[in-house]
Amino acid sequence: MPAAEGIALRSLLYCRLSIFLLGLWLPLSLPAEPLRLYSQEYPPVNFSIAGEPAGMAVDLVRELARRSDQPITLEMVPWARAYREVLTQPNAGLFVTMRTAERENLFQWVGPITVNITSFYGLSRSAPRIDSLDDARHHGEIAIPRDWYSHQLLLAEGFSNLRPVPGPDMVVQMLKHGRVKLMVMDNLGLPAYLARGGLDEDEVKLLFSFLRSYSYIAFSSQTAPALVARWQAELDGMKRDGSFAAIHQKWLLGAEMPGLRALP
């Protein structure tokens, strides 16, 4: 081989080797894009303390991120904004949200995280008797958090006496001050919202339970399916090794824990 051709060949091999080594190095040196996670005020599952995210689901997603080696950002925002962001943005997730037939194909799901029982409640001293959904239609306006799954479900059931308001805090205030005789709330958030609203638990009576549902982390449809599958696998692992139970009982002592998987 002539000397010039040998030099050219060595240069070509050196160039290809450099490109190969660079390809090996880049994935290790560039951090993964942070996963943007949105949540809303829903104590004790997810809420903020002095501006910092806290709660059962917050502890859980942080541990899932650690186990998945996935950088994340957490932001507490109003429900409507969180829902809109995750509907339209890649690499984004919303927690916690109820997995329903209507939402099934809009998101990718990791869970279940909590079991929620939604009911009609009234003030103990003046609560009407409610034994069915039909009974609830005939007792004036019902305060309910706007756009929550319970609101959507009762609208689908033909309720015309709902009074949707921006959130559970206002729902409690409307019941407390007699502006409505009934409110809709789920069992997990009820104690915290009553305390924030200045009501003792014995001042409010459970009248009729109408919905059992499971909450999940909802990832946008544009998020990589492999990432979603990894988070589901890590959650299943936490349920098997007891670490999920430890987090759940820390925040939701006595509440029913979900199993490995549940249908919508």
What was the pLDDT predicted at 32?
64
Q: pLDDT tens, 70-93? A: 999 999 998 888 999 999 999 999
Residue type at 124? S
Q: pLDDT tens, 106-148? A: 999 999 999 999 999 999 998 899 999 999 998 899 999 988 8
Q: pLDDT tens, 42-75? A: 999 999 998 899 999 999 999 999 999 999 999 9
All domains of the chain in start order, with CATH: 35-115+213-251 (3.40.190.10), 117-212 (3.40.190.10)
List b or e across 50-65, with b for residues whose CB sees 16 or more CB atoms inside 10 angstroms.
Answer: eeebbbbbbbbbebbb
Residue type at 90? P
Cα atoms found within 13 Å of the Cα of residue 243, Cβ hemisphere only = 14
Instruction: Say yes or no to pLDDT of 23 above 50.
Output: no
CB-based contact 36:89 (threshold 8 Å):
yes
Is residue 220 exposed (0-12), middle (13-18) or buried (19+ Cβ within 10 Å)? buried
Backbone angles phi, psi at 65, to 5 degrees: -65, -40
| 99 or 16: which leads in pLDDT | 99
Q: pLDDT tens, 137-193? A: 988 999 999 888 899 999 999 999 999 998 899 999 999 999 999 999 999 999 999
Instruction: Say yes or no to pLDDT of 28 above 80.
Output: no
What was the pLDDT predicted at 115?
96
Q: Where is 111: in which H helix or E strand?
A: strand 107-123
Backbone angles phi, psi at 189, to 5 degrees: -85, -20
Instruction: Say yes or no to pLDDT of 98 above 80.
Output: yes
Whether a cis peptide bond, with omega within 30° of 0, leads into 168 is: no
How far apart, in whole angstroms, are the C-alpha atoms of residue 229 and residue 258? 19
How far apart, in whole angstroms, are the C-alpha atoms of residue 96 and residue 147? 14
Whether the model pTM is above 0.85: no
Instruction: Say yes or no to pLDDT of 10 above 80.
Output: no
Q: What is the mean pLDDT of residues 33-48?
A: 93
Q: What is the mean pLDDT of residues 32-47?
A: 91
Task: For the chain, give the percent of residues with pLDDT over 90.
Answer: 76
Q: pLDDT tens, 211-248? A: 999 999 999 999 999 999 999 999 999 999 999 999 99
What was the pLDDT predicted at 99?
92
DSSP 173-216: HHHHTTS-SEEEEETTTHHHHHHHTT--GGGEEEEEEEEEEEEE
